[in-house]
Amino acid sequence: MSTPEEEKPVKKKRVRQNYVDNKAFLAAMIEFRESVIHAKENGLPRPVVPMYIASCIMKIATHLAHKPNFMNYSFREEMVSDGIENCLQYIDNFNPEKSKNPFAYFTQIVYYAFLRRIQKEKKHLYTKYKLTEHVNIFEQTSEVQEQDMHEPKNYDDSIKQSEWSQEYMNEFITNFEEHKRKKRVKRKTGVDQFIEDKKEWRLL
Q: What is the pLDDT of residues 59-110, one digit of tens each?
A: 999 999 999 999 999 999 999 999 999 999 999 999 999 999 999 999 999 9
pTM exceeds cut of 0.75: no
Rg (CA), the chain: 29
DSSP string over 12-80: PPPPPPPSS-HHHHHHHHHHHHHHHHHHHHTTPPPPPPPHHHHHHHHHHHHHHHTSTTTTT-TTHHHHH
Which of 34-43, 50-59, 135-144 shows the lowest mean pLDDT across its residues? 135-144
Q: What is the pLDDT of residues 181-203, one digit of tens each?
A: 776 766 655 545 544 554 444 44
Q: What is the pLDDT of residues 5-18, one digit of tens each?
A: 555 555 655 545 57
